[in-house]
Structure 1
Amino acid sequence: MTRRNFLALSALASLAAGCGGGGGSDSKAALVKGVVYDSLQADLPIEGATVTIGGVSAVTTDRAQASATKQVGSFIINGAPLGATTVTVTVTGKPPQTIAFQPSITSGTNPDLALYLNIGQVRGRVLDEAGLPVKSAFVVVNTNQGSISGFSNTDGSFLIDLVPEGTSEISAGAGSKIVTKNVTIGFGINEIGDLQLQPDPNPNPPAPLKTISGKLTSALDSSPIAGAPVFLLREGIQLETLNTDATGDYYFIVPAGSYSLQVLPSGYIPETKPATLVNPNNPLTVNFSLTPR
């Protein structure tokens, strides 16, 4: 990716914020629930896998145990260690795979985890020229199947999920400073270390690439709805969030896959729509015409 093209993608940074996490301090046990999926088998849930967080384990639900409230491939761990950010999943007859997640485990009930085996994750840190962490830097991994993006946390760290195996290019940027690095991705966590930003010699980028985009308007008068949250979800799990711009427009840069879009504008009835992106080279448009409350 050229520096100019990367800066086009990093325009998303003005629309969304990075996510963070931290440990808790009270004595309540940490409860963690989730589902394990196999990325090589069309994301089917995996039965009978052992899920371990910091020495505390559970086995995923098989079909004989499943019920309306207990999904195949699901697990519950009570007493997970506070501050944990990785989980190890073991399937009989196969090597264990370690998967990273964020935010870190806190006391009480934690957000549900969607754990995908047999696919890569990219973990690293974005630094400025002085070596200091950069918050909310835009990070994108370009693969032969499309682009996956995210943002750095307060400490400069980032975690990009669902990255296919093979050679990829990762870029990070903030303002007019960027850095690009080629990496080889394998299953599980791929630690790429620090990405240190440098001034960009071509700070005027072309228009950004948009793989899923659309507009929010009022059904009353077709006026644009600005500043409305738009949530990108996969299997009910929130992947990214941003707000519509002044003209009611939004866009995401994601690889091919089945997603859903949920909009929650103030003063309007919320709405959710499916968004199946077959080919990132053929962008998908999903518009919303929302009814005032």
Structure 2
Amino acid sequence: MSDLLSALLLGILEGLTEFLPISSTGHLLIAQHWLGARSDFFNIVIQAGAILAVVLAFRQRLWTLATGLNQAENRDYVMKLGVAFLVTAVVGLPVRLAGWELPETVTPVAWALVIGGVWMLLAERFAGRLPDSTTITWKVAVAVGLAQVIAGVFPGTSRSAAAIFLAMLLGLTRRAAAAEFVFLVGIPTMFAASGYALLEMAKKGQLGNENWTDVGVAFVAAAITGFIVVKWLLSYIKRRPFTGFALYRIALGFGLLLFLPAGN
């Protein structure tokens, strides 16, 4: 398989899995087992493509918030987005600097997939007993920020799954409202994380020797695929629960444990 085709497939895979609650890390781990490992720079760039997809998917909502700050409802929403982002930054940066992160190898990622799948099944069932609500409280905003930090420490957890289900358990029970808030918080969070990682690599002189054609193709593929997936997911969860994603995670996690070497 050519390097360009490999890059295209990895970009599509990133766009498919970044925002679904199934863990992009687990899927890229499998894909790179056969398609070949890529540089950290490549992985950061395709993640940036997925972030761009969210900006495009929510462009109207973002514009409404930006131009409607004179309305109390919009100000409140933006402030809660800001709190969630600040919690992630204030707690997450020391965690990152301390190096508190499990390795992206098969065993921890696989168990994170399985445990996360079980957590999703239990959380969905419990949240289903709560009153239907689209209200985003300050408690939800703080919890979403903390959930993003937890997902960063435990690769395979899925940032979207951790944050959406914690928000639902704390009262934001309408799936689409929880997903929208988590995705919007993810825009500054993921851009900041990607920018920080790129600065670290630049300081170490690790940005050279890249095939820019491969990087560009993967970035565009991740952006286009991510846009389609986000729009589809928001429509899907208005009618159906996350149960299918949870069962898929559990099956994938056990599949990784059984069929991929633990050291990879």
TM-score by length of 1: 0.23
Q: Greater helix share, 1 or 2?
A: 2
Q: Greater strand share, 1 or 2?
A: 1
Using CA pairs under 8 Å that are at least 6 residues apart, name the structure with larger relative contact order, 1 or 2: 2
TM-score by length of 2: 0.25
Larger Rg: 1
